[in-house]
Amino acid sequence: MVLLETRGLTKSFGGLVAVDGVDLAIEEGESISVIGPNGAGKSTLINLVTRMLDPTAGEIEFKGESITGYEPHEVVQKGVSRSFQTASIFPELSVEENAQIASLAAEHGSFRLNFLRHRDNYGEVEASAREILDAVDLLGQRNVTAEDLPYGDKRRLELAIALASEPDLLLMDEPTAGMSPEETAATVRLIERVKEELGLTILLVEHDMEVVFNVADRIVVLHRGAVIAEGAPEEVQGDPEVQEAYLGGVEA
Amino acid sequence: MSDEPTETADAAEDGGAVVERTRRRFPSWSRAVESEWFVVGATTVAVALFPWLFARAPVVSDLLNGYQDLASLILIWGIFAMGFNLLLGYTGLLSFGHAAFWGGAAYAAGLFSTQVSSSPLLIVAAGTVFAALLAWVLGFVALRRGGIYFAILTLAFGQMMYYMALSPLSGITNGENGYTDVEVGQLFGSFHLRYPVPGLDWLLGTWQYVFVGAITVLCVALAYRVLNSPYGMVFRAIRENEQRAEFVGLNVWRYKLMAFIISGSLAGVAGSLFTIHGSYVPLESLYWTTSGEVVIMAVLGGVGSLFGPILGAGLYLYVENITSGIRELTVPLTDVVLLDGFGAYWHLILGLVFVAVIVLFPRGIWGLFRDVAAGIRRLGGGRR
């Protein structure tokens, strides 16, 4: 089943076309990686799909339903979650509260009039937050203030926040940016593990080719906002147009 | 957890148990302190003792120079500052137009008292409902923008209310003279607010204080419950990272509107009590300086806490009402006059107090208390 589909998705900023008529289809359970040189429109694509930006033209469908007019939180409630390029967390709250906020949104929906109900009554939120923290190995640090975590752990916390939203599709914007090789390897293992455990479909935007080839079943190459190649990692690797545009002719 | 010293293998079991036990002793105490019953109980005791300590207790009241009427006024502004701080300190939104809710409710309460009913409870209810509806409408527009634009929009709405009351609506509001026809009846038809409480007047003073104090405790309980509900967590999430809050699937806009309405309603409770307290609604209650005062009170007391702003309100009003009454500043224990007309400089004194608090204790008076308490606890822990 096609989980996410974009048709003719286009975004221009003034005269600059950042995303140019992208047709993309992601099957359930698939791991797709979007690669391309800087400024190819990868992040813009994610921002369009998560409704952070309004498309200039085109259609986005999730589970066969158009989400083009949705608010960002509605898209998350439908089952699309994302991580950001910089670790986007709630810095002054504890690690556990960070996860609880996301669990709360998943369990209770986008809004409820429950401001007079004590949060001790929400055991299911606490339980699911702990489960997620356990899955990313942060349960031991649950009482630490999030901003005091080392960088790699912050990224893992962000992944936990994204996972606590109980998504079907997870979009990750350069999850290993700024990480040491060890942290990168650990993150790849983590992504593969949660993907398997939670049956996630993943769309990954990434610069690190090692990560891409490890995680992705299929690669989509963007160049100047348009898809120039698409296929299994080995196929894309050998594509002369891709080497020209992206790898700069260097033999991989 | 990670900074626990690693134990040697053979000591691990016993040592671990000891660490666990000692660690548990403090959390159980701090959990008790955080429980609602404790907070409401402690607030009730503090509110009950306050007028006595402030106005009548031996030595303390002589030092403080306080009086009964100011005690009620401090609680009223305390509610206002506490409600305001739900927005500034917890949700991270700086409103510069909270005078609209305070003054709006004050006028609504005043008009209600003459036109509909003079029952104090109904007056407060009417003013609060008005403030809540007003917050809904103003929030609906002002919350479209964030940061400085939000602050300016709220300021503009506040000033619009002020000019409405000053001129176009002066037929109703009595314009720049303020609304003078306030009629305050008896509480539950039997307690005259101006009369002393029989048998307890040494402690509480008048029925009016009992009325204001009871509503203060109620407001503290309500605000504390809100902060411990899912809303409290969502508000802080919005303050910390609005974008992330939206992208975990929370409807940030509606939560912000709710924060604005709850905050405006508390300002409305306070504004209505202000009308009852003075039997008068001054036009200044809608003026932007009122919005500014509540910002100062909240920051002075500490925006990171529920109670800080109440302390800030107390300190502000103390300087405004007591310090301003000191005519001459003398060298202690002598008659040497340092400065004549000292009290006239109360704004300057307040400014100095404000700067001192912000520079020395950025988390406000409440933050200072917390630090002192933590220091004492650490000393106790060190000895053991």
Helices then strands, counting H and E runs in chain A, come out as 9, 10
* CB contacts < 8 A (A, B): 111
Report the chain B residue with the minimal C-alpha distance to residue A121: B229
For residue B250, which residues of chain A lie inside 8 Å, CB to CB? 73, 101, 104-105, 110-111
Closest-CA distance, B109 to chain A, in angstroms, reads 26
Q: Report the DSSP pairing between strands A65-66 and A57-62.
A: antiparallel
Whether B358 contacts chain A with CB within 8 A? no
CA distance A138 to A48: 31
Residue with tokens 């002793």: B25
**pLDDT (tens digit per residue) in B52-97:** 999 888 888 888 888 899 999 999 999 999 999 999 999 999 999 9
At B184, give phi and psi (nearest 5°). Answer: -105, 120
pLDDT level of residue B199 (50, 70, 90 thresholds): confident
CA distance readout (Å), A93 to A89, A98, A157: 9, 6, 12
Q: Where would I find the H helices in B88-241?
A: 99-115, 120-142, 147-166, 170-173, 207-227, 230-240
Residue B108 contacts residue B269 (beta carbons within 8 Å): no
Tell me where in chain B the CATH 1.10.3470 domain(s) lie: 38-304
Whether A135 contacts chain B with CB within 8 A? no
b (16+ CB within 10 A) / e for B207-245: bbbbbbbebbbebbbbbbbbbbbbbbbbbbbbbbbbebb
Closest-CA distance, A87 to chain B, in angstroms, reads 10
pLDDT of residue A243: 77
pLDDT of residue A169: 96
Q: In what order do the strands lie in the sheet with A218-223?
A: A80-83, A169-173, A201-205, A31-35, A218-223, A226-231
For residue A153, the surrounding DSSP H or E stretch is helix A151-164
Which residues of chain A carry a pLDDT beneath 50? Answer: 249-252
Q: Which of B347, B297, B326 is nearest to B79 (CA)?
A: B297
Arch. (CATH architecture) of B38-304:
Orthogonal Bundle (1.10)
pLDDT of residue B18: 41
pLDDT level of residue B30 (50, 70, 90 thresholds): low
pLDDT of residue B24: 47
pLDDT of residue B324: 82
At A37, give phi and psi (nearest 5°). Answer: -65, 170
CA distance B232 to B222: 12
For residue B249, which residues of chain A lie inside 8 Å, CB to CB? 73, 76-77, 81, 102, 105-106, 109-110, 165
Q: Which of B250, B258, B262, B263 to mutate to test the interface with A (most CBs of A within 10 A)?
A: B250
Residue B303 contacts residue B364 (beta carbons within 8 Å): yes
Q: How far is CA B145 from the centre of its chain?
A: 26
pLDDT level of residue B2 (50, 70, 90 thresholds): very low
CA distance B224 to B141: 27
pLDDT of residue A248: 58
One-character DSSP codes across B53-121: IIIISTTHHHHHT--HHHHHHHHHHHHHHHHHHIIIIII----S-THHHHHHHHHHHHHHHHHT---HH
For residue A108, which residues of chain B lie inside 8 Å, CB to CB? 230
Residue B186 contacts residue B48 (beta carbons within 8 Å): no
**pLDDT (tens digit per residue) in A193-211:** 888 888 899 999 988 888 8
CA distance A161 to A124: 16
For residue A101, give the nearest of B234, B258, B262 by CB distance.
B234
What ipTM was reported for this prediction? 0.91
**pLDDT (tens digit per residue) in A87-99:** 899 999 999 999 9
For residue B230, give the nearest of A84, A104, A165 by CB distance.
A104
Query: Per this entry, what is the length of chain A?
Result: 252
Residue with tokens 């994302």: A82
pLDDT of residue A38: 84
Residue A134 contacts residue A197 (beta carbons within 8 Å): no
Closest-CA distance, B91 to chain A, in angstroms, reads 13
Q: Which CATH superfamily is domain A1-79+169-252 in?
A: P-loop containing nucleotide triphosphate hydrolases (3.40.50.300)
CA distance B152 to B134: 17
pLDDT of residue B1: 38
Q: Which of A51, A115, A137 to mutate to test the interface with B (most CBs of B within 10 A)?
A: A115
pLDDT of residue A194: 87
Q: Where are the domains of chain A?
A: 1-79+169-252, 91-166
Q: What's the token pair of residue A104?
A: 């709360």
pLDDT of residue B127: 97
pLDDT of residue B96: 96
pLDDT of residue B8: 38
pLDDT above 90: percentage of residues in chain B: 66
Burial of A68 (0-12, 13-18, 19+ CB in 10 A): middle
CA distance readout (Å), B219 to A8, A241, B11, B269, B270: 55, 68, 51, 9, 10
**pLDDT (tens digit per residue) in A156-168:** 999 999 999 989 9
One-character DSSP codes across A233-244: HHHHHH-HHHHH
Closest-CA distance, B248 to chain A, in angstroms, reads 5
pLDDT of residue B260: 98
**pLDDT (tens digit per residue) in B238-265:** 999 999 999 999 999 999 999 999 999 9
| Contact map slice: B 226-245 vs A, CB within 8 A | 226, 228-234, 236-237, 240-241, 243-245
Report the chain A residue with the minimal C-alpha distance to residue B246: A73
Contact B241 A89 (CB under 8 A): yes
Contact A119 B1 (CB under 8 A): no
Whether A139 contacts chain B with CB within 8 A? no
Contact A118 B225 (CB under 8 A): yes
pLDDT above 70: percentage of residues in chain B: 90
CA distance A83 to A85: 7
Report the chain B residue with the minimal C-alpha distance to residue A149: B2
CA distance A226 to A240: 16
CA distance A129 to B100: 40
pLDDT of residue A238: 80
Contact B254 A50 (CB under 8 A): no
**pLDDT (tens digit per residue) in B330-378:** 776 677 777 777 778 888 889 999 999 999 998 999 999 988 988 988 8
